[in-house]
């Protein structure tokens, strides 16, 4: 890039192009929503058969195509805005230098050199020192690609300054200053051009109509490339609160411009997807991108692992041995193959939830949290309906043995709660959230020789996950208040070991509270289902109002009694015990997981009692015992 090009450059034209790409990205997003939430949902609810299934498959593929267009066009928009910002900074420097030169009566020539007039003291012959022309010298930016010019340019600039200082015409030195500023501006524009040109050229898709795993992997690479190039642009955006305070995070997001928000969605989906306090729609958009890119990456890695060889070879009657081929595969690939299979199965479960939108009037799913490999079990947070605008929100914490592969059972419970709660208050909006963001107990832990006890007998996993649950609840409250200006009715529900996580979360005092007195959980009601203990012997020990603490356990459920033995209930008291002091709800279901069952095609009392609390219909909740102090 030369002086004349930069002088005539209009960064606004790149920004206009960025607006165009963003408009396409927004249209693709709306098209995806139409396909997935309206067309496919209505078709799934109304039609059956092979033809309908084939059509649904095609529609879902079309939705994925629109999603890919949304991501890539959003990335292109951000790249153009960032490039325009770099050019604008260089042009501002150029225009300032040119204006200052003109104010001094100097002339800036078409090549960027500066002509200066005669000036200074007359010599002994009475002549004024003549004017002249000087070209500037620029230093290569340490941030740009042209860094090899540093030493030579510094030397050349020093020589030029020395010559100007020896010149009896003082205009020479001033002209050199302006010429150097002009040259530096042109240099920075050239560096920006050289930096951005290949990035923009790389932002193109295959010329087919199929969005493949390779396309998503390339999209992630594109994001990394643009993020690196856009460092200056991103540095100008105010950093999110470092202590993770959800309330400050919500305020920070609201204070950003639309372009800045779109830039962060395009370039930092993983970071935004796990930021408590951000709108559910933003986290969902970010996490869907993370999901698509992660699935493509893991599927490619899984496909590269060779098939498992024959495991055994026959040695004789009733005698077998491992084959050498299998042993080699086992040591090199088996563990990783199992990890990838679990992660891919979990991602399939999330996709299946997206596909269930519209079934039995189920609302849109919001992917509020996602990590396929966290602690090997994976993490996922999914909402049915938008919690930011819902009149009633319920956060459900599942218990032990939960992982991303088995998350479908827990999602089903949350969906059932949504249906029954919505049926009780059809004119109100309801959102139910499955919160699985902790390492649920699964295996066994050796205690002494020949003795093993399940991990669920210990508080370790609950204590580890409790701060994240507390921060999520604070974030959910902050996002709702930011969206509506008021607090909605909220309920926190735990099943089995999930209630132990809730008990620990009630004791957590997050650092972003500023060391103030311990704040209670930011929910209106707390409900425990089949709790083995909450590390407290009363709601008051948890800082909660007994009248808004609800407990449920069927007579044949052994987990509460087991929890007393394990010591998860303080003084061997669990929430479903009369002495705990909670509202003890009636149950009409059996076993440890039957609380969400239907009986004779009707919702069980166990289920409707939970729904009644979620929507605040307390008079409709059947009680064995009312709360007491």
Distances (CA, A) of 374 to 29, 78, 290, 428, 555: 29, 30, 14, 36, 36
- Residue 441, pLDDT score: 86
**Domain count of the chain?**
2
- Residue 46, pLDDT score: 63
> Is pLDDT of 156 > 90?
no
Mean pLDDT (whole number) for 566-577: 85
CATH of the domain at 464: 3.40.50.1820
Instruction: Assess contact for 280 and 388: CB atoms under 8 A.
Output: yes
> Is pLDDT of 427 > 70?
yes
DSSP-assigned letters across all residues of 304-335:
HSPPPPP-EEEEETTEEEE-HHHHHHIIIIIH
Assigned domain for 303 exists: no
- Proportion of the chain in helix, strand, coil states, percent, rounded to 5: 55, 10, 30
| More confident site: 122 or 584 | 584
> Is pLDDT of 251 > 60?
yes
The helix or strand, by DSSP H or E, that contains position 445, with its residue range, turns out to be: strand 444-448
Encode pLDDT of 130-143 as tens digits. Answer: 999 999 998 876 44
- Residue 373, pLDDT score: 75
Q: Is the dihedral of CA 275, 279, 285, 291 positive or negative?
A: positive
- Residue 139, pLDDT score: 84
With 0-12 / 13-18 / 19 or more C-beta atoms within 10 angstroms meaning exposed / middle / buried, residue 582 is buried
Last residue of a domain, one of 187, 202, 217: 202
- Residue 317, pLDDT score: 86
> Is pLDDT of 313 > 50?
yes
- Residue 150, pLDDT score: 44
**β-bridge mates for residue 134, sequence order:** 114
Assigned domain for 297 exists: no
First-to-last alpha carbon distance for the chain, in angstroms, is 77
Compute how many other C-beta atoms are within 10 angstroms of the C-beta atom of residue 580.
27
- Residue 585, pLDDT score: 98
- Residue 449, pLDDT score: 44
Alpha-helix residue ranges (DSSP H) falling in 396-459: 407-424
- Residue 452, pLDDT score: 42
Mean pLDDT (whole number) for 478-487: 94
- Residue 447, pLDDT score: 42
Compute how many other C-beta atoms are within 10 angstroms of the C-beta atom of residue 165.
11
Assigned domain for 154 exists: yes
Assigned domain for 578 exists: yes
Residue 420: pLDDT band with limits 50, 70, 90: very high
Distance from C-alpha of 534 to C-alpha of 590, rounded to nearest angstrom: 22
> Is pLDDT of 211 > 50?
yes
Q: Which of 474, 581, 471 is nearest to 536 (CA)?
A: 581
Instruction: Assess contact for 105 and 150: CB atoms under 8 A.
Output: no
Q: Is the dihedral of CA 536, 541, 547, 548 positive or negative?
A: negative
Last residue of a domain, one of 202, 219, 249: 202
| Domain limits for position 59 | 3-202
Q: Is the dihedral of CA 484, 490, 496, 499 positive or negative?
A: positive
Instruction: Assess contact for 337 and 302: CB atoms under 8 A.
Output: yes
Mean pLDDT (whole number) for 559-569: 84
Assigned domain for 499 exists: yes
| More confident site: 184 or 52 | 184
Percent of the chain with pLDDT strictly greater than 70: 92
Distance from C-alpha of 88 to C-alpha of 95, rounded to nearest angstrom: 10
DSSP state of 455: G
Percent of the chain with pLDDT strictly greater than 90: 70
Distance from C-alpha of 465 to C-alpha of 376, rounded to nearest angstrom: 15
At residue 178's C-alpha, the angle toward residues 176 and 182, to 5°, is 115
Most confident of the following: 53-57, 140-144, 239-243: 239-243
Distance from C-alpha of 597 to C-alpha of 442, rounded to nearest angstrom: 24
- Residue 456, pLDDT score: 66
- Residue 194, pLDDT score: 93
Encode pLDDT of 437-473 as tens digits. Answer: 999 887 544 444 444 446 667 788 999 999 999 999 9
- Residue 455, pLDDT score: 63
Lowest mean pLDDT among 53-57, 110-114, 311-315, 525-529: 53-57
- Residue 144, pLDDT score: 43
Last residue of a domain, one of 156, 183, 202: 202
Distance from C-alpha of 357 to C-alpha of 36, rounded to nearest angstrom: 8
Assigned domain for 496 exists: yes
Lowest mean pLDDT among 214-228, 558-572, 594-608: 558-572
Mean pLDDT (whole number) for 246-266: 96
Distance from C-alpha of 105 to C-alpha of 169, rounded to nearest angstrom: 14
DSSP-assigned letters across all residues of 522-540:
S-SEEEEES-S--S-SSGG
Assigned domain for 528 exists: yes
Mean pLDDT (whole number) for 222-239: 92
Using left for φ > 0, alpha for ψ between -120 and 50, and beta otherwise, residue 375 falls in left
> Is pLDDT of 431 > 80?
yes
| More confident site: 21 or 509 | 21
Mean pLDDT (whole number) for 167-196: 93
Residue with tokens 């729609």: 281
Assigned domain for 211 exists: no
Lowest mean pLDDT among 125-129, 155-159, 325-329, 377-381: 155-159
Q: Which of 591, 426, 567 is nearest to 495 (CA)?
A: 591
> Is pLDDT of 36 > 80?
no
Q: Which of 538, 507, 536 is nearest to 520 (CA)?
A: 507
Cβ neighbours for 16, distance < 8 A, ≥ 6 positions apart: none
Distance from C-alpha of 137 to C-alpha of 146, rounded to nearest angstrom: 14
Lowest mean pLDDT among 10-14, 49-53, 495-499, 613-617: 49-53
Please give the model's pTM, rounded to 2 decimal places. Answer: 0.88
Mean pLDDT (whole number) for 291-305: 95
């Amino acid at each position: 890039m030369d002086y004349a090009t930069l002088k005539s450059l209009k960064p606004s034209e790149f920004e206009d192009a960025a607006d165009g790409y963003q408009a396409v990205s927004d249209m693709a997003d709306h098209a995806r929503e139409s396909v997935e939430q309206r067309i496919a949902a209505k078709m799934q609810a109304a039609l059956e058969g092979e033809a309908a299934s084939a059509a649904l498959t095609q529609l879902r593929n079309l939705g994925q195509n629109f999603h890919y267009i949304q991501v890539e066009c959003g990335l292109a928009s951000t790249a153009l805005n960032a490039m325009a910002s770099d050019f604008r900074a260089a042009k501002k420097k150029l225009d300032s230098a040119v204006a200052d030169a003109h104010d001094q009566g100097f002339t800036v020539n078409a090549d960027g050199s500066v002509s200066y007039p005669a000036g200074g003291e007359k010599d002994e012959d009475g002549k004024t020192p003549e004017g002249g022309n000087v070209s500037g010298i620029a230093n290569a930016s340490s941030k740009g690609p042209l860094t090899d010019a540093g030493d030579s340019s510094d030397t050349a600039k020093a020589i030029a300054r020395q010559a100007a200082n020896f010149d009896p015409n003082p205009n020479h030195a001033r002209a050199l200053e302006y010429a150097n500023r002009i040259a530096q501006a042109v240099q920075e524009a050239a560096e920006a051009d050289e930096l951005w040109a290949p990035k923009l050229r790389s932002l193109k898709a295959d010329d087919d109509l199929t969005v493949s795993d390779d396309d998503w992997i390339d999209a992630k690479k594109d994001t990394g490339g643009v993020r690196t190039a856009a460092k200056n642009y991103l540095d100008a955006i105010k950093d999110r609160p470092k202590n993770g305070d959800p309330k400050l995070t919500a305020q920070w997001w609201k204070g950003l411009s639309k372009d800045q928000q779109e830039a962060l969605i395009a370039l930092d989906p993983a970071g935004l997807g796990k930021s408590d306090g951000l709108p559910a729609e933003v986290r969902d958009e970010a996490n869907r991108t993370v999901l698509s890119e992660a699935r493509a990456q893991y599927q490619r890695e899984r496909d590269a692992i060779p098939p498992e060889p024959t495991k055994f070879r026959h040695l004789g009657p009733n005698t077998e041995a491992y084959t050498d081929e299998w042993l080699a595969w086992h040591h090199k690939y088996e563990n990783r193959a199992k990890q990838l299979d679990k992660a891919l199965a979990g991602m399939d479960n999330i996709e299946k939830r997206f596909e269930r939108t519209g079934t039995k009037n189920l609302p849109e799913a919001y992917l509020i949290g996602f990590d396929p490999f966290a602690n090997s079990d994976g993490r996922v947070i999914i909402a049915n309906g938008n919690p930011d605008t819902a009149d009633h929100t319920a956060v459900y914490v599942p218990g032990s043995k939960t992982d991303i592969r088995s998350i479908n059972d827990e999602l089903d419970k949350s969906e059932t709660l949504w249906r029954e709660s919505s049926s009780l208050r059809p004119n109100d909006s309801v959102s139910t959230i499955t919160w699985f963001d902790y390492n649920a107990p699964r295996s066994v832990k050796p205690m002494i020789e020949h003795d093993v006890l399940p991990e669920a007998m210990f508080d370790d996993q609950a204590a580890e996950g409790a701060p994240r649950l507390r921060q999520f609840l604070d974030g959910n409250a902050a996002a709702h208040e930011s969206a509506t200006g008021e607090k909605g009715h909220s309920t926190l529900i735990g099943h089995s070991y999930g209630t132990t996580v809730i008990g620990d979360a009630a004791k957590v005092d997050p650092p972003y509270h500023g060391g103030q007195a311990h704040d209670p959980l930011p929910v209106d009601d707390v409900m425990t289902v089949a709790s083995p203990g909450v590390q407290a012997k009363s709601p008051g020990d948890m800082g909660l109002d007994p009248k808004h603490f609800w407990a449920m356990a069927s007579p044949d459920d052994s987990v509460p009694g087991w929890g007393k033995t394990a010591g998860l209930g303080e003084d061997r008291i669990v929430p479903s015990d009369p002495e705990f002091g909670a509202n003890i709800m009636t149950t009409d279901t059996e076993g440890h997981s039957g609380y969400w069952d239907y009986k004779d095609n009707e919702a069980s009392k166990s289920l409707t009692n939970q729904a009644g609390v979620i929507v605040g219909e307390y008079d409709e909740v059947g009680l064995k015992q009312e709360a007491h102090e």
